Structure 1
Amino acid sequence: MDTSAPVRILTVCTGNICRSPVAERLLQAGLDQAVPGGFHVSSAGTRALVGEPMQPISADIVRTFGGDPEGFAARQLTSRILRGVDLVLTMTSGHRGEVLQLDASLLKRTFTIREFARMLDVLAQRTAAADGGQPAAVAPSPAALPAGSGSDDDTRLAANAALWRALPARAAGVRHLSLPADSADNDIVDPYRRAPEVYREMEDQLAPAIVSILRHARLNAPVPGTVPQSR
Structure 2
Amino acid sequence: MDNSAPVKILTVCTGNICRSPVAERLLQAGLDQAVPGGFQVASAGTRAMVGEPMQPISAEIVRTYGGDPEGFAARQLTPAILRGVDLVLTMTSGHRGEVLQLDASLLKRTFTIREFARMLDVLDQRDTSASTDNAADDDGWLAAHTTRWRGLPARAAGVRHLSLPADPAENDIVDPYRRPPEVYRQMEDQLAPAIVSILRHARLNSPVRGDAAGAP
Structure-2 residue corresponding to 1:137? 131
CA distance in 2, matches of 1:226, 1:56: 43
Matches within 5 A, 1:40-79: 40-79=40-79
Change (3 A) 1:38 1:3: same
* Per-residue deviation, 1:137: 3.5
Structure-1 residue corresponding to 2:170? 185
Deviations 1:119-160 (A, max 9, x none): 0000011114xx6xxxx33977x9xx9xxxxx70x4111111
Structure-1 residue corresponding to 2:119? 119
Matches within 5 A, 1:1-231: 1-128=1-128, 136-137=130-131, 152=138, 154-225=139-210
CA distance in 1, matches of 2:140, 2:25: 26
AA aligned to 2:131 is: A
Deviations 1:11-30 (A, max 9, x none): 00000000000000000000
Q: Give secondary structure in 2 for the equivalent of 1:10.
A: strand
Q: Which runs of 4+ in 1 moved over 4 A?
A: none
Tell whether the 8 Å contact from 1:62 to 1:68 is kept in structure 2 after alignment. yes
AA aligned to 2:31 is: L
AA aligned to 1:83 is: R
Give the CA RMSD over aligned residues. Answer: 1.8
Q: Could you list the runs of 5+ residues in structure 1 that have no partner in the other structure?
A: 146-150
* Per-residue deviation, 1:226: 6.6
* Per-residue deviation, 1:227: 11
Tell whether the 8 Å contact from 2:34 to 2:206 is kept in structure 1 after alignment. yes
Deviations 1:49-92 (A, max 9, x none): 00000000000000000000000000000000000000000000
AA aligned to 2:35 is: V
CA distance in 2, matches of 1:138, 1:80: 37
CA distance in 2, matches of 1:126, 1:174: 10
CA distance in 1, matches of 2:114, 2:72: 23
Q: Could you list the runs of 5+ residues in structure 2 that have no partner in the other structure?
A: none
CA distance in 2, matches of 1:101, 1:31: 29
Tell whether the 8 Å contact from 1:127 to 1:138 is kept in structure 2 after alignment. no
Change (3 A) 1:87 1:33: same
CA distance in 2, matches of 1:34, 1:126: 21
Deviations 1:92-126 (A, max 9, x none): 00000000000000000000000000000000111
Tell whether the 8 Å contact from 1:3 to 1:161 is kept in structure 2 after alignment. yes
* Per-residue deviation, 1:3: 1.0
Q: TM-score if structure 1 supplies the norm length?
A: 0.88
Q: TM-score if structure 2 supplies the norm length?
A: 0.95
